[in-house]
Structure 1
Amino acid sequence: MPTPSKRLGGIVPAGKSGWEVHFAAMTRKQAGEPIIMLSVGDHDFDTPAETVEACVTAVRSGHHHYTQLAGLPRLREAMAKISTRCTGVQTSASEIIAAPGGQLALYAAVQGTLDKGDHAVVVAPYYATYPGTFRAAEADFTVVEAQATDGFQPRAAAIEAALKPNTKAILINTPNNPTGAVYSRECLEAIAKLCVSRDLWLLSDEVYWTLGGGHHVSPRALPGMAERTLVINSMSKSHGMTGWRIGWLTGPESMISLLISLNLVTTYGLTDFVSRAAIEALENDYGVERIAGIYNGRRKTFLDAIRGLNDITVRGSEGGMYVMLDVSAIEPDDEKFAWDFLDAEKVGVMPGSSFGDAAAGHIRISLCQPDDVLLEAAARLRRFASSYRSKAA
């Protein structure tokens, strides 16, 4: 057969990614073992019933046809209102392009700002798809690690040191996956000044903005940033719609109008009835307050349950759906810790090194389980940590 393009093989290079612990835990759970899965960030509850009913109504009403490339006008209006709330900048529908999920919005942002051979800076720890998204654009990138000792707040000086003459963009994520860190205003102001002085795009992944404990700051609202910031957003986390695949990109109107051409040759618009359900969910905030409350409560429950646990330190963990724990004082090899924890206590977690070198020595705990399950996992972690130390002594 003819050979495939080299581009495909370069998106995700072969090799270990750290996800082996998760896949093993899932396989064992499916085989009947009582594994507690704390390794993946997907809600343990269904999409709000009001959103589901809106979708059913749209299907039965005959909304089965093509939609506008940038999204239905009413959908873009609804997304603009949410973006105004998210970023603190008055946003119009012309500054919005709808996309099938936050990942496609990120893909559009990267394709829209970088040509082949251009350079970007990616702040880590990062969501797993970031490197592959830049490789798909055949762009070069440098990873800058936000340090655990700084609470995973990135330093502008470290970002500046990574810039090259052909750097075009910086990618950040707040509230952060995997660390749960919510970047401070001071941190974002320093990055914004760098973007303005070097005339750079800032790609800001804000899909967890409703889960930030009320402390989210969007860099789009900072001086000089509205014209150079592309905000990636999604309904997956905020509205409990992970499988619906609907998100959007906010940016300058001139960039958004250009990106409509990308939708022409990729998505050709969104699904009609899903779009109409999303409109209802956005206009009525279906599930938003409840979901935010669930994760804020779970975060407090879990952190209270492990408070005072010797040799384990909480890093970041102010928002999002995750808690990041520094276990290096017990076992510097976070992947070994995760495997041993799975084998001894039947709890699946993610090794921090899966998300970048700065998270090495950590484990990521997903809060996508009910309080009683999180409390049981915390008890097992206490037992395991104590046993691990005694064996090492």
Structure 2
Amino acid sequence: QWVVTLACSDSLKIIFRVCIRDAHLQPRCPPHVLMLIVRLLLKTPSSCYTPPSLHSYFTTPPSLPSFIRHFSLCFQPRARMPPKKVVKEEKILLGRPSNNLKIGVVGLPNVGKSTFFNAITNSAAAAENYPFCTIDPEESRVAVPDARFDWLCEHYKPASKVPAYLTVIDIAGLVKGAATGAGLGNAFLSHVKAVDAIFHVVRGFDEADVIHVEGEIDPIRDLEIIHEELRLKDEEFLTKQLAELKKGLVRVGAGGGAGDKAKKEEYEIVQKVTNYVVEEKKDVRKGNWNNKEVEVINSLFLITAKPVIYLANVSEKDYIRKKNKWLPKIKAWVDANNPGDLLIPFSGVLEHKLSLMPAEERESLLKELGAVSVLPKIIVAGYQALQLVYYFTGGADEVRAWTLRVCSRLPT
């Protein structure tokens, strides 16, 4: 209110009152603009800051209309900038960034791994009643069942049909102490490290004729053995890797520099992963890792970072009647140790028998038994565990399912 007492004309007082009122309602009005108004009215210089764009007002005082016009522009409400678009960071997946991925069949000796492998791939790998029947890994691939692909083939009747395939590898049985070399464990674990996902087969049937490497049937003990051997192999590898990285940091520091930032960051990540595996005794795939950590983990090819599907091999009788004394305990163990992992019961004997039959006989037997084959479900689950998807192209020449990894770009 003190401003209106300045010596000036009545008309300018009215205008100035209005300007002051409007300025008071505009919180964005800078203080130096208000001081400028006073200086213009008094036509006296001041030591307050004046923007360069307004210097001309002091050398050549503006006319009243131009002053009012300029003053009103100073108090126009500012246009709000649109909020910045939040760019969501794409999550990097654990595992190799490839479309050519493989899943391995893992378990103790004589639990039905090779029988399952033969049934699912319609192969003829050796499956005998003694440990270490399989030494070198067997590899085969099986078409991924899909009714949409079958419909396209029926519709186009193409000369060539190319479905999506799941590559399966039969790996020799692991025994207790495999991580320290027992039972050719180092060689067999290197085969496990080379695959991208795991079918973990556990024995859930009692049969005296089929010997067990531990002497008696106990699926929970068997699960613990395999789980611990895989974890110990990662623990051994991570401990060595951490020591090598630490030596590298010491050499860099000895040179007098500030140190290699990237190497230091890698060391910290490997240390964090090592603590997770060694101290917490958890599988790497169950950790909550950011993208940078996932990049480092993927470069290590850790066994416990691979997705796992548990397959409970039960007798044909138990499978048909849908009842097995071990299944609830196996399910409880999986939920407690690796929550979210899939458990699928199957009968290796029945599935192998079905795989040797013509299609019509197979359907007839299943109808008679009141059962269904679970192999299609296992194949699809294995394909999804590898985080693979596919899309179709179709025509008279060819119907094809094109495989690619989740979150990857389509070829152009």
Q: TM-score, length-normalised on structure 2?
A: 0.24
Scaled by the length of structure 1, the TM-score of the pair is 0.24
